[in-house]
Structure 1
Amino acid sequence: MKKWLILMLALLPLPAAANLTGLTFITEEYPPYNYRQNERLEGISIELLERIFAETDTPLSREDVLYYPWARGYDTALSEPGTVLFSTTRTEQREELFQWVGPIATNKVTLIARRDSGIQLHDIEDVIAGGYRIAVIREDIGAQRLQEAGVPESQIHAAISNVSALRMLERGRVDLWAYGEDVAFWLMQEEGLPAADYIPTLTISESDLYYALHRDTDPSLIARMQAALDHLREQGVFNEILGGTTIAFNTEEYPPYNYRDDNGRITGSATELLRTALDDADLDADFRLLPWARAFTEAQLRERHCVYSTTRTPERESLFTWVGPLVSSTWAAFALEDADIEASSLDDLAELRVGSFREDAVGQYAANQGVPIIVASAERENIGRLRAGLIDVWVTGEQAARFLAEEVELPLRRLFVFNEVDLYLACHPSVPDQFIARLQAALDRALVDMEAQQ
């Protein structure tokens, strides 16, 4: 009956005065959904709320939203009529405590460990049996789920903030951190901690995030707010805020990581890993295969463009926002199998004709070591140039060299290895932070699954 009344009220025309100005809005630090940056509130739920204000002719903005620690905001929303708390996980235990408008997004809460800890969890019983110390935020869904599962209070350590909890994990004061996965990996990036050093070990909750309103809130306001949110969803505003389908993922012909198969589909180990992560994060991207120099330049200069598989170098670090690592690449020098060439280091190549291709990190690295490089427009050209005797040595990723040489049945001899690097997705800074954070978290989950299957 209650739901029917709300639906009817949403369909009836409401007077102009029936806006949301009588409500008090409270949020916390929970990026990428809501957070404070340079004293200004940002995030998915903040942007949605401002759109809701416009839809309901409410003369409010993000400047009118209160910013509280989570526990204080949660207690206020429980006790003070007219309060809206967000972003709040909707659970069975909380269902009757609030009225709800949403959903905003799906939130996966996991137990996160340092990768070097070696912690492996199959269920909550492993957590209890291991006696692991777990950082939580008081009244946060992570803390509540652990309590409901019977984890002893002695194992639960309350932190004053999410950053504090992250630092507790980093410094070994706790073994695990129970928190929203997207948010946790976002914070790692913000705090300058390598996301690859941390790993999600066990999902303890997967629920939707909502605007939670005090249970005595006027049902007509609930209906008006929900109707506005539903209209925004129909208009595609959610996709717009999350980065939508307009992010371009540029790549090149660089097998086995990224290449076009016989059916014209872009594939490869790095490509398929990105597709898996995009699906898991409910994101989308437009994959494009281009010459490397163009793919790299577009990601550097054009908004909402990314490029992979890209070596993360000091020179490139500030040019992009990085997601990864995707795969590892071993750099080596190659000659024809029967070539009368002996070399054991880059110094031995100084008098030889050495091939690479435009904007390639391998060739740039060798050039910086004093090796004269003959540059091709694409990596595949170096196979033909080596066979034709136009170059003596080819410097490239070992996996790519083996793949391309086998493709044309060209016997190669590896002279020496000179570096090993991780390859990443590099994105123009205009790609939304929410998109980056969600993709990174999903990528980490995919890598964990791959390790478990090996």
Structure 2
Amino acid sequence: MKKWLLLVLVLLPLPAAAGLEGLTFITEEYPPYNYRHNDRLEGISIELLERIFAETDTALSREDVLYYPWARGYDTALSEPGTVLFSTTRTEQREELFQWVGPIATNRVKLIARRDSGIQLDEIGDAIAGGYRIAVIREDIGAQRLQEAGVPESQIHVAISNVSALRMLERGRVDLWAYGEDVAFWLMQEEGLPTTDFVPALTISESDLYYALHRDTDPALVERMQTALDRLREQGIVSDILGGTITFNTEEYPPYNYQDEDGRVTGRATELLRTALDDAELDADFRLLPWARALTEAQLRELHCVYSTTRTPERESLFTWVGPLVSSTWAAFTLAEADIEADSLDDLAELRVGSFRKDAVGQYVANQGVPIVVASAERENVGRLRAGLIDAWVTGEQTAWLLAEEADLPLRRLFSFNEVDLYLACHPSVPDPFIARLQAALDRALANTETRQ
């Protein structure tokens, strides 16, 4: 009888390794990866973890994830078997302390300064020599990097939270903030602070974010999580969580955005956005439309954006903004041989002045009391000026010269009257993680451009 029982036991399938239900998952406030909104955990790594639960038939959800301050979560993951801490930067110093599942995303820790501070850093030694006060979060990767670099404790100011650190920087209580770039710019937007008021001054760490598991965790569970994550990445789920494919509408407005001979949307602003998208691992479809339609679609249709867009008071609350992308000088033009002299917008009041539908330049001029003759597209104003249907043309200076050269139209600049930044304007439905990652990547791209120059 015992032999038959032994044979039955041998033939039965071996029990599966203990499920992920046996693990304790811990996270912190680190948007857009993990954060709490209306008492519910949200973010890229939270969404991804729930997908991992589903992929591994694990009977857990985001409601089972513990939410701790970073230092407490970090200490717990180090000391208590069966714990998983995320999102955790994987560094050489931490490598043997945990087992790792990931990557989730790339985390770039920067020393962030107020733009008006004029602080310029080439290396961490410059921060030490300058005696700059630096805000950090205890046990955060930024704090650890500064300690490793030998920054004196007298220069390091520990904040109780990332929002507190941001406010310390904003109010001048510190000179720099050592923190993840994506997260910092997310918080600026959430706190209603213009991201353009701040600038990354120096990169002090560039590593990937992972799920960090206690080092004694069963390797089979680690492998199970990693296999599930790899499958999700292959299926494009990670890209979907980051926001999926967003539609970027634009118009024919060289040199910033236009269609080349092969029908591809290109231009200075377009290529800058493409670079930032690639860096942030985000997807967008570029479409060239008449400006009025491009702007209206971004205002009314979910998951749509429009560029290159002037950020006006009237538009401010309609969109979520990413930028600035480029700057544009507004000017008034006439034919080279025209008997017209004007030094200000007041001098245009009695003339026929051309612009196009829903263009910020024309709207601005109209608000100054100058009647505007509106075309459906900017390019039409070249022909209307040549035909004598308008006397003057108000537009972006670089655009005017390029379109005039293309049409072999002798043009004369009368005067300039404004300097503005152009942005990407997105419908509020575009996910916050998409906006935050794109803004941070755009800042990196612009910083690299300035370095090369």
Q: Same fold (TM over 0.5)?
A: yes
Q: How does 1:347-366 map to 2 (within 5 A)?
A: 347-366=346-365
Contact 1:333 1:394 in 2 (8 A): yes
Aligned residue number for residue 368 of structure 1: 367
Contact 1:199 1:448 in 2 (8 A): no
CA deviations 1:341-372 (Å, max 9, x no partner) are: 23333333333221111111111222223322
Aligned residue number for residue 19 of structure 2: 19
The reply to whether residue 40 of structure 1 matches residue 43 of structure 2 is no
Q: CA deviation at 1:50?
A: 0.9
> Secondary structure, in 3 states, of the residue corresponding to 1:52?
helix
The verdict on how the C-alpha distance between 1:15 and 1:358 changes in structure 2, with shifts beyond 3 A counting, is farther
Distance 1:445 1:96 in 2: 31
Aligned residue number for residue 215 of structure 1: 215
| Alignment gaps of 5+ in structure 1 | 1-12
Q: CA deviation at 1:233?
A: 1.6
CA deviations 1:189-244 (Å, max 9, x no partner) are: 11111111211122111111111122222333222222222221222110111123
Aligned residue number for residue 338 of structure 1: 337
Contact 1:16 1:57 in 2 (8 A): no
Larger mean CA deviation between 293-302 and 33-42 belongs to: 293-302
Q: CA deviation at 1:14?
A: 8.0
Aligned residue number for residue 179 of structure 2: 179
The reply to whether residue 298 of structure 1 matches residue 297 of structure 2 is yes
Q: How does 1:382-401 map to 2 (within 5 A)?
A: 382-401=381-400
> Secondary structure, in 3 states, of the residue corresponding to 2:438?
helix
Alignment RMSD, CA only? 1.8
Aligned residue number for residue 129 of structure 2: 129
The reply to whether residue 149 of structure 1 matches residue 175 of structure 2 is no
Q: CA deviation at 1:170?
A: 1.2
Distance 2:275 2:431 in 1: 20
Contact 2:76 2:83 in 1 (8 A): yes
Q: CA deviation at 1:17?
A: 8.4
Aligned residue number for residue 406 of structure 2: 407
> Secondary structure, in 3 states, of the residue corresponding to 1:165?
helix
Q: How does 1:233-248 map to 2 (within 5 A)?
A: 233-244=233-244, 246-248=245-247
Distance 2:219 2:281 in 1: 32
Distance 2:46 2:320 in 1: 22
Aligned residue number for residue 437 of structure 1: 436
Kindly, what percent of the aligned residue pairs are identical?
87
Contact 1:25 1:64 in 2 (8 A): yes
Aligned residue number for residue 159 of structure 1: 159
Q: CA deviation at 1:15?
A: 5.1
The reply to whether residue 115 of structure 1 matches residue 115 of structure 2 is yes
Q: CA deviation at 1:303?
A: 2.1
Distance 2:125 2:348 in 1: 58
CA deviations 1:253-275 (Å, max 9, x no partner) are: 10111112334332222112212
Contact 2:355 2:381 in 1 (8 A): yes
Q: How does 1:71-82 map to 2 (within 5 A)?
A: 71-82=71-82
Larger mean CA deviation between 132-141 and 122-131 belongs to: 122-131
Distance 1:198 1:220 in 2: 45
Amino acid of the residue matched to residue 267 of structure 2?
Answer: G
Aligned residue number for residue 427 of structure 1: 426
> Secondary structure, in 3 states, of the residue corresponding to 1:247?
strand
Larger radius of gyration: 2
Contact 2:239 2:281 in 1 (8 A): no
Q: How does 1:68-107 map to 2 (within 5 A)?
A: 68-107=68-107
